[in-house]
Structures are given as structure tokens and as C-alpha cells.
Structure 1
Amino acid sequence: MESGETRKGHTIQTDQAKDDLRTDEAKAGGPSTSMNELYDDEPAISDPAQAMRLVDDESRRLRAMFATNGQALYLTWGLVWLAAYLVLGISSLRTTHGPSSAAFIIYSLLLLTGVATSIICGIKAGTGRRGQSKLKEMIYGWSWFLAFLGGMLMCAGLVRHLGLSGEYVATVYNCTAVLIVGILYMVGSVLADFDLPMFLGGVLMLVIGILMPLLSATVGFFIMAVVGGGSFLVLAGVVHACTRGLNRKRARR
């Protein structure tokens, strides 16, 4: 009898505890949600093959995004180098004192266009990403602005401190701009999967920057326009062709 009464007492206590829980839920405005229910709301991936497909899809999306941004950078800087240095080269042929002020203004505006495009591409590359990846891409985009701002201010200080004029001023500014672009291209090539065309473009800029002080300003302008600008346009075409080829192969699968 005592054991039966004991079980009956436990049953009454259990029922009372359930009633108390329902009362608390009613006061709170609805049923409480357990941790298991919270996790049940999120879709779980139990199939390893499905998980690998998701990883592959994300990798392809990132590669396509960086290929598009890289192609935009190659095309932009190819046109910038070609137009800007042709303006300086043609202007220097017409005068004996180097390029005119108007030519330098056009050159600066074209250079700013390239910097602005690089910033936009860097920020755009971080769109849809989170955490360190997004921050890394945004910092890379704004690094173009900060690097050119610091580089041009440094050049202005050197010109004033050393009393440079004529072709020397043009050489200092041009070599600095080429050096900045080359370094940033090499840095950008390792932000995602290693981008060999972008890395080679950066190396080419450094080589041209080394050769420019050894040549006359006019010759350097035309070399920069043809070799520098032309090589980036070729890179843009190569990346575009490779991207189209990969897209066609995926479409056939």
C-alpha cells in the first residue's frame, strides 16, 4: 500500500509540475522554445556529397566574381595607361620642356579614374561575404586610394625638397604611380585563389618602373602606353576568353 501511495504521490507531483509549466508559458505569452527546437529550424546537411557540392558551388561563385573584377581592372588600367601616357608622350614631342600642364591634368584625371574603378572593384568583391573576407576586400579597395594619396604627396615633397623640374618631375611621378600599381596588383593576386595574370601584370609594372628612369621621358611615355597599356588589354582579353570557355564547359555538363 505504501508503494502504491508513493507512486500516486509522484504522479500528482508530476501533473502539478506540468500545470505550473503551462501556467508560466501562458503568462509569457506563448510556449517556450527549447534548444532542440531552435536547432531543428535550421536545415541540417547530413549528406557529405551535398556538403561538397555546396563548397564547390561557393568556390566557383568566388572564382567567377574575382575573374570578373580582375577583367574589369585589366581593361580599366589598360585604357588608362594607353590614353594617359599617349597624352604625355604626344605633348612632350610638341615642346622642349616636357609635357604641358594640360597634359598633366588629363593624365591625373585618367589616373583618378583607374583608382576609383579599383576601389569599386575591391569593395564589390566583398559584397555577399562576411567576416574577415569582406573586411579584407574592402581594405584592399581603399588601399588604392590611400597608396596613391601617400605616393603623390611623397612625390610632391621630393620635388619641392630637391628642386626638381621638367623631365625629372615627370619621371618621379610616373615611376611612383607604376610602382604603386605593380605592388597592389601583386597583393591582389593572392587575396582569393592565386591569380597568375594579375601577379604577372604587377611584375610587368615593376619592370617598366625600373626601366623608365634609364630612358628619356618621352621614350618612357610611349613605352608605358604601348607595353604597359597594351599588356593589360591583352590580359583582359585572355581572362575574358578563359572565362567564356569555362562557362561553356559547365553549361555542357
Structure 2
Amino acid sequence: MTQREPAFDTSAALSAISDSEAITRRSTAPNPPILYLLWGTVYALGYLALHAALFRWAPVSLPLALTLFAGLTVAGAAVSTVLGIRAGKELRGASSRRGMLYGLAWATGMVSVGFIVVALLRLNLEPATLVWLASAVATLLVGVLFTAGGAVFLDLAMFLQGVAVLAANLISVLVGTSPLVLIGWLAACAVLFAGAGIEAHRSVTGARR
């Protein structure tokens, strides 16, 4: 009497494939919760300092606010670069290069924004106009990098949250240099903090799309 082979469990196979895909994606993509929390903090502190300096609701000078924002941005870019490089550290080939190049994109992009701000300073613009333009450029870059990251790592949530950052930045651009510009700034920060929570939940549950 021959022993029957166990039936092939389709659901178990699909579950194993899904788990493997989730592990691979977590290995090749930068840590999204940390990235969102990092840039949400950088921009929230930076924007609040700039707004306080411009509209004088706190004892913060504009040079101090700009220095604070610049320092936070440099630190954020450095951490983002490390995360991108580490994302593909344990892998070889295209996956490793993808993580490394994405991390370097953050660093080169932020350095470019720094040079743009320096160029704006040389134009002797009104402080409110200078801050408005510089913040629009910087937030535009962050939104584009997140949407690009979502496309590169096939992460729809990351892509959509990047789009939301771009939409919030558009609000700031349309509002202009009035005190209400803080609404758009903080909306972009809220998107980033929400993204941190969403990605942390996804990391725990393994619910990767």
C-alpha cells in the first residue's frame, strides 16, 4: 500500500512567498518609519523657528532660526544617507546599489538646496520672501525624494505620502509670505509624522504591499 503524499497547500505557499517578499523589501529599502520621523522632526522644528523669527511670537532671531534649520537639515541628510547605504549593505548587485544611491540622493539633494539658499541670500530679498522660497524648494525636494523612493522600492504608501507632502508644499506656495504659511508647513510635517506611524505599524504586522 503506497503512502499518499500530502496535498500541496496553496495558501501556505502564498504566505511564504509574501513573507519572503516582505523580508527582502525591508532589507533593500531604507527604514521608512525612521525617515518619516526624522524629516518630520527636522521640518517641524525648523519651520516653527523660522515662523517665530519672522512674525515675532517667540524670542528667536532670523539668523539663529536659519542656523538651526541648516544644522537640522545637515544632520537629517547624514542620517538618511547612512540609512540608504545600510539598506543594501547585506545584499549584492542591483539591490545594494539601489539603497546606496537612494541614500546618496538625499545628501546631494540637500547640499544642492543649501547652495540655492546661499544664492537667494545674495539677492537681498525680504526675510519673509527668502524663507518662503527656500522652504518651498527644500520641501519640494523631500516630497520628490519620497515619491521617488516609493517608485524605486515599489512602496505605494511611501509614494502617496510623498505626493501629500508635495500637496502641502503647494498650499504654502499659494498662501505666500503671510503668517498663514505655517499651515502648509505644518501640514507637510503632519504627513511625515503620520507616515512614521503607518510604516511602524506595517513593519510590526508585516503587511507590505
TM class by shorter chain equals 0.7 to 0.9
Report deviation, 1:102.
0.7
Matched, 1:73 2:35: yes
Matched, 1:128 2:107: no
Hey, what does 1:64 align to over in structure 2?
Answer: 26
Cα gap change, 1:92 to 1:154, in 2 (>3 Å): closer
Report deviation, 1:57.
5.6
Q: Secondary structure at the match of 2:90?
A: coil
Counterparts of 1:139 and 1:209, CA distance in 2: 25
Matched, 1:220 2:181: yes
Report deviation, 1:157.
2.3
Hey, what does 1:202 align to over in structure 2?
Answer: 162
Listed as ranges, the matches of 1:5-16 within 5 Å are: none
CA contact (8 A) 2:169 2:184 kept: no
CA contact (8 A) 1:189 1:195 kept: yes
Hey, what does 2:144 align to over in structure 1?
Answer: 183
Hey, what does 1:90 align to over in structure 2?
Answer: 52
Counterparts of 2:105 and 2:23, CA distance in 1: 24
Listed as ranges, the matches of 1:1-253 within 5 Å are: 58-65=20-27, 69-94=31-56, 100-160=62-122, 162-192=123-153, 194-215=154-175, 216-225=177-186, 227-246=187-206
CA contact (8 A) 2:55 2:179 kept: yes
RMSD of equivalent CA atoms: 2.8
Report deviation, 1:129.
1.0
Cα gap change, 1:71 to 1:59, in 2 (>3 Å): same
Counterparts of 2:178 and 2:119, CA distance in 1: 20
Report deviation, 1:67.
7.0
Cα gap change, 1:166 to 1:109, in 2 (>3 Å): same
The one-letter code sitting in structure 1 at the alignment partner of 2:197 is G
Gaps of 5+ in 1: 1-48, 248-253
Report deviation, 1:141.
0.5
Cα gap change, 1:100 to 1:131, in 2 (>3 Å): same
Cα gap change, 1:123 to 1:61, in 2 (>3 Å): same
TM-score, structure 2 length as denominator? Answer: 0.79
Count the aligned residue pairs: 193
**Which has a greater percent of helix?**
1
Gaps of 5+ in 2: 1-9
Report deviation, 1:71.
1.1
TM-score, structure 1 length as denominator? Answer: 0.67
CA contact (8 A) 2:29 2:99 kept: no
Q: Secondary structure at the match of 2:203?
A: helix
| Structure of greater Rg | 1
Hey, what does 2:3 align to over in structure 1?
Answer: none
CA contact (8 A) 2:30 2:84 kept: no
